[in-house]
Structure 1
């Protein structure tokens, strides 16, 4: 039985709680539940028991390399992948008693409109650079191979199964071009390096403001603060926000 605390025992506040969005390219695993959805559900229930007004938002990430890679391997379209796994993910969470006020998808029109609005406003405020960069390319399939399309040896910790976006062993953010001996399951010939134009978000310019903002987060876990401090110590790097698929 739920025990409701008196609403007048605390000042009523509004909370917006968002869970990390799982890619709609497969079933949920324990890490999804333990790392994001269960903590979010517990926090939402706790704040509602205290009488606060809470909006719980979730959904699936329907874009990106994990979706297209799954589609390529299965010989189907990205939309077919998303249409298959969105209801599976939604029903899995529902069966665990984890509910949302809105469980959406990034492929819905409202998300496309909002993303374009963000891009336009940031571009108008000179937050982007258009740069020529090297990237891996498969000549046999005539396609670029961004992040998870390639694996290789991490240049930092020498882990041999590092992905082209991040090393799962040491946690370092990577670019496929940085990997040692990169290979791809989709390409049966040696990979080439080609030039391409991409938009970069100038994250490095925000480091001073972000460091100042983080100092006020006295309620964050020490492990999280130390992780962020490690990024600042290395220096924030500008991040690409577009890729060729």
Structure 2
């Protein structure tokens, strides 16, 4: 972008965000590089008279947080609160100046998540169907991705999670794992059916393809990779989880 377009006052509002850090571990150098670079850009905009707002937040939901909170003997809420404070302390120490630093575990996020879900459901873009999942009889719960480990069905690597193999990067489901075991208690899970919500992602293939081809801001490598996924055919996306689950 030309520097002349950024200098001087403007009524245009600019919202800037950085990738949300996952509330499951300490800040590392990769996080700080991005956040400091973004902070420099925001400061430049504000010094140029632009109305710029820098928003950050913690990504606080999901099975890894559930698992690690249980290992520490604390609630997920207390677990993510501790990491929020530690992360914010580190950003403050490096003078990263957020206008707002929040959390995805918020009433506002819950409200808009439910609002979007209900509108999509009303328009027929969401449906339910029964699927087969792994279930631990000892823990009396279904085992999503990180709650079950086993042997990768593609490369044979052991102790891989139920969503992707970290050795060969092949995506799979929990029921695809060979010799699966519950990552909580070590028991062998069974297969059990459960009804879930699915989003008809494939219905938006034409819209996505048009957006990708006409968005001049996208890097060619990113555009080509996503277009490959779209052209190969998008599968309907499971957007629900069995309880107990820390999230919306």
Where on the TM-score scale, by shorter chain, does this alignment land: which range?
0.7 to 0.9
Structure 2 spans left out of the alignment, 5+ residues: 1-5
Say if 2:134 and 2:191, in contact at 8 Å, map to a contact too.
yes
Aligned position for 2:110? 112
Say if 2:27 and 2:90, in contact at 8 Å, map to a contact too.
yes
Structure 1 spans left out of the alignment, 5+ residues: none
How well do the aligned residues superpose, as a CA RMSD in angstroms?
2.5
1:1-245 correspondence to structure 2 within 5 Å: 6-7=7-8, 13-34=12-33, 36-156=34-154, 158-244=156-242, 245=244
How far 1:60 moved relative to its partner?
0.8
For the residue of structure 1 that corresponds to 2:214, the secondary structure is coil
- Report the Cα distance in structure 2 between the residues aligned to 1:39 and 1:225, rounded to whole angstroms: 24
TM-score, L = length of structure 1: 0.85
Aligned length: 239
TM-score, L = length of structure 2: 0.84
- Report the Cα distance in structure 1 between the residues aligned to 2:28 and 2:192, rounded to whole angstroms: 37
Give per-residue Cα distances to partners, 1:24-56, cap 9 Å, x unaligned. Answer: 22222234334x534533443444455432222
For the residue of structure 1 that corresponds to 2:133, the secondary structure is strand
- Report the Cα distance in structure 2 between the residues aligned to 1:231 and 1:46, rounded to whole angstroms: 37
Say if 1:21 and 1:59, in contact at 8 Å, map to a contact too.
yes
- Report the Cα distance in structure 2 between the residues aligned to 1:207 and 1:56, rounded to whole angstroms: 32
Residues 1:62 and 1:29: Cα distance change in structure 2 (over 3 Å):
same
